[in-house]
Amino acid sequence: MKYGGVIGAFNCQGAGWDKEERRIRGFKHCYKTVEGSVHVKDVEWDQKSEARGMGLAEEYAVYLHQADSLQLMTSKSDPIHVVLNSLTFELFSFVPIKKMGRKGVRFAPIGLTNMLNSGGTVQGLEYEGLDAKMKIKGGGSFLAYSDHSPKKCIVNGQEVGFEWVDERSKLTFSFPWNEEAGGVSEVIVQY
């Protein structure tokens, strides 16, 4: 993930190799629920030099993939509590929120939520005034944290309809796979 960090939480208890069937299968008598917590400080931002600055952001948008939930977090926030039943998981995408322009529009691209690593679909990101310009690989449902409704969203030069939910600061729109460009679409969100 170039523009954020991801943490995966998995509960694999109760699964294992069955020698007789020669495959991995579940053993219900071993199923156990596990609990834990996840925090932005758990992301190893110092593993790559280009990610170090992201670990110093004031605020993050956090997307929980399985719960389809968008939350905000700072380095001083309480951790996110997670409960996982056996053979389930949750992916947490942490994306630094950028303040754009004099309006102070707050924006963070989560990526394509129909992909397991939604943030990995964001291949390029730059901010120019009140525009967020991105290269997104894939097709499907795009999600961003946005505390203002944009004026327009443009995909590959064409304006697309979008949905913005004020109380959740959730911006969504969809677009198809861009065959001509190997699946990479030019996406612009304008404020």
Produce one character per residue of 87-119: b if its CB has 16 or more CB atoms within 10 Å, e if not: eeebbbbbbbbbebeeeebbbbbbbbbebeebb
- For position 143, what pLDDT does the model report? 98
Q: Average pLDDT of the chain?
A: 94
pLDDT digits (tens, 9 = 90+) for 128-146: 999 999 999 999 999 999 9
As a whole number, mean pLDDT of residues 72-82 equals 97
- pLDDT at residue 51 in the model: 84
Residue 102 clears pLDDT 90, i.e. is over it: no
Q: Are 131 and 176 in contact (CB under 8 A)?
A: no
